[in-house]
Amino acid sequence: MYNKNNRPVVALLVFLAVAEGVVMGCLFGIPRPLVGTNNPAPGVFICADGDQPGHPWVAFYFTSTLAIETILLLLSLWKAWHAHKTGLGGGLMKVLTRDSVYYFAIIFWVYLANQIIWIVNDITLNELATGFGFSISSILANRLMISVRSTYYLQEHLPSELRSIPIGQSISNRPPSTMGIVAEPEGEYDDHAGPSHAPRGGEEFELATFNDSRGF
């Protein structure tokens, strides 16, 4: 998304590392330890954690996570707007922006639910959505990466006449010279394994035979 300009990415990584260290240091260094039990309610036997009444420290973890996700979304939208304004945005930029918005729209409510649950601080409910929040973020991030890879390989194997057509453009809006051209991969193609050879020219990519419905 930032092409060869690595300074914003490095600055963001340093900021996130420092911020995470500060937040985790505050959480683990709090003067009031968490309350743990294996019998949170009569007849209920399960390991449960909670803050001491009136001191919902763990809720600040989800506050910082929501702030970081918001910053990442704003950076993506700013870069997409800049690319659109300058006319330099391609298909990958559109896919990255679209999937970033979808990712945030889902993960925001998951983290917000965790935030509210830990603020309420009912020890029987605190862990209700914690595992889901950790897992769904990993799933969505992997789907975003697969979507970007799929888009790259789709463009790489399209005939040269079709590569300049924006992703999502309808067939009726194609240039006349591309009518009748079938967008099939160049070379042999396996329905299960995808293209039988890696793209020629440029860098070699390790997922040349990756298929998002089958895997490796």
What is the rounded CA–CA span in Å between residue 147 and residue 164? Answer: 19
Q: Contact 60/32 with Cβ under 8 angstroms?
A: no
Bridge-based pairing state of the strands 35-37 and 48-50: antiparallel
- What's the whole-model pTM score? 0.60
Q: Which two tokens stand for residue 83?
A: 């690319």
Cα–Cα distances in angstroms (integers) from residue 111 to residues 3, 42, 93, 95, in the given order: 30, 29, 26, 24
Break the chain into its structural domains and give their ranges. Answer: 7-129
Of 60-69, 101-110, 119-128, the one with minimum mean pLDDT is 119-128
More confidently predicted of 52 and 113: 113
Q: Is the pLDDT of residue 115 over 60?
A: yes
pLDDT of residue 213: 58
More confidently predicted of 34 and 179: 34
Sign of CA dihedral 211, 212, 214, 216: positive
Q: Contact 208/189 with Cβ under 8 angstroms?
A: no
The rounded percent of the chain whose pLDDT value lies above 70 is 59
Q: Contact 153/196 with Cβ under 8 angstroms?
A: no
State mean pLDDT over 8-30: 77
How many Cα atoms sit within 13 Å of 133 on the Cβ side? 21
Q: Contact 83/94 with Cβ under 8 angstroms?
A: no
